[in-house]
Amino acid sequence: MPIKNHAIPLLPLIVEPAELERHLGETNLLIVDLCKPDSYARHHIPGAIPLDYSHIIAHQGLVRGLLPDAAHLNTIFSALGVTSDTHVVAYDDEGGGKAGRLLWTLDVVGHDRISLLNGGIAAWFNAGHPCTDQPATPAPAAVETSATRRGIVDAAYILAHLDNSHCCLFDVRSPNEYNGLTQLSQRKGHIPGAVNLDWTFVMDPNRNLRLKPKAEIEQAFHALGVTPDKEIIVYCQTHHRSAYTYIVLKALGYPNVKGYHGSWSDWGNRLDTPLEGGA
């Protein structure tokens, strides 16, 4: 694929397949594929670089899905060739959780030039956009991530804000997990005061899991009290599903969104955290 020698303009946070195709091969565009290896081997977007999801998360005992340290992230982003001018477009083959997690990570360290491919590889492939089975090789770059750590909270932060009416805890696990009927940690239930909506609600199954219309999503969010005037803290089991929701909220224009890394695998495996719905 020929390289176009002009820099890509800033793409929207949620980018449609047709719009992305118009920019293939442009300078400073980095497309990252977080699909399963066999999927990447069969077909992927031309020029897309594969990334193993396990490389962008860290674990401590029972706590999964933590943000890796700066040294590790520098190594990963340097290998991918992410510079301050790089616009990263991410996609996966499972609804956007893995791609969303990469983009959340970039946002946390202060990298603004990010986009999620609406509908992922399914939307791209099923609409007849170009694919290839030829692997792409990244152009490594020296990277030093910033220490902004915006968009991220931990258990201590949530404990300090449980009674804050301007803070909304948004649990995007399944209703069974939220209500303690499905147990994936030592304790079950949800964070006190958290509202719940399964992360897949925003996806249209008839359109390759593209986002539903903005008005429909906003109506559902607002009915739960998830409104732009509040600080929204999203969580799931390991901040995988909720990382996707974080990107959706940002795309809707919510100005103050944070992700709880570790999520319920942290809260539900601690002894110093209150819970509801765990009886």
Contact predicate 185/264, CB 8 Å: yes
How far apart are the C-alpha atoms of 228 and 214, rounded to whole Å?
Answer: 14
- From the list 35, 167, 168, 236, the catalytic residue is 236
Contacts by residues 188-191 (CB-CB < 8 Å, ≥ 24 positions apart): 188/268, 188/275, 188/277, 188/278, 189/268, 189/275, 189/276, 189/277, 189/278, 189/279, 190/264, 190/275, 190/276, 190/277, 190/278, 191/158, 191/162, 191/235, 191/267, 191/273, 191/274, 191/275, 191/276
How far apart are the C-alpha atoms of 240 and 234, rounded to whole Å?
Answer: 10
* SS3 (DSSP) at 239: coil
Q: Which two tokens stand for residue 143?
A: 């990277």
How far apart are the C-alpha atoms of 156 and 172, rounded to whole Å?
Answer: 20
For this structure, is 35 an active site residue?
no
Q: Which two tokens stand for residue 201?
A: 């609600």
Q: Which residue has the tokens 């209703």?
A: 175
Active site residues: 236
